[in-house]
Amino acid sequence: MDISAFTTDWFGLGGKNAIVTGGNTGLGEAFSVALAKGGANVFVPSIVDDDGSTLATVEAAGARYEFMQADITQPGTPKRVVDECVERLGSIDILVNSAGICPLGEVLEFGREKWDATVQVNLTAAFEMSYEAAQRMVPQRSGKIINICSMFSFLGGRLSPAYSATKHGIAGLTKAYCDELAEHNIQVNGIAPGYYATAITANTRSDPAASRRVLDHIPADRWGEPVDLMGAVVFLASRASDYVNGHILAVDGGYLVR
């Protein structure tokens, strides 16, 4: 293709329909808003009831917002979610597997109950959502699957063995799906956020010594903000990333280099 064919319009998402799991809270909400600002309609399945704030922000961006209260860990629910998205919006072009949990506990106290719950949400549900989305994307010969990974896709995970294991697993799933779906013009990639200023990190950030220990590992010398991730998800959801596949994009302020 002639390089003169490139245009910044390739970053636009007009006419696309996206599912963002857990897309009305935390970083998931940032992904939903980013895709909407790029022009995509957004379908959000979440166990957390919608208070209308994400709806207002998405609609202010000129996109359509659809919500479905659903527990994607329950058998059959991922298929119902994808089917409902297609019924309401007409297609599924983008899937962002954002829903996740991170129970904490020392190894000697971290038992099967916490382990199973984390695997169900972070890995099994993401697999089933991807499987159901692929059933639609392969026939249309297009699609983007974006898995939300973590720094713990690369590192250990003190006090979070299940979280670390599932985030390593989701990185592996990203590469495995890429290996088979790329020939169908479907790109499967991951985003690995670094340390962000969210409710989950509030206790660490409020402790000066603990916060400094984190910041000492970040060349940018600041906590990430949800807005720092929004460009990454738009890029990976857009035509501009059509030859990016099986990649885990760290958006971490440089954390991994230290």
Strand positions, DSSP E, the chain? 17-20, 41-46, 65-69, 94-97, 143-148, 186-193, 248-251
Distance between CA atoms of 147 and 145, rounded to whole angstroms? Answer: 7
Query: Using alpha carbons only, what angle is made at residue 187 by residues 183 and 189, rounded to the nearest 5 degrees?
Result: 135
3-state secondary structure 45-70: EECCCCCCHHHHHHHHCCCCEEEEEC
Half-sphere exposure of 254 (CA within 13 A, CB side): 9
Distance between CA atoms of 196 and 247, rounded to whole angstroms? Answer: 21
Q: Which of 163, 177, 195, 196 is catalytic?
A: 163
User: In Å, how far from its chain's centre is CA 189?
Assistant: 10
For this structure, is 243 an active site residue? no
Cβ 128 vs Cβ 178: under 8 Å: no
Residues classed as catalytic: 163
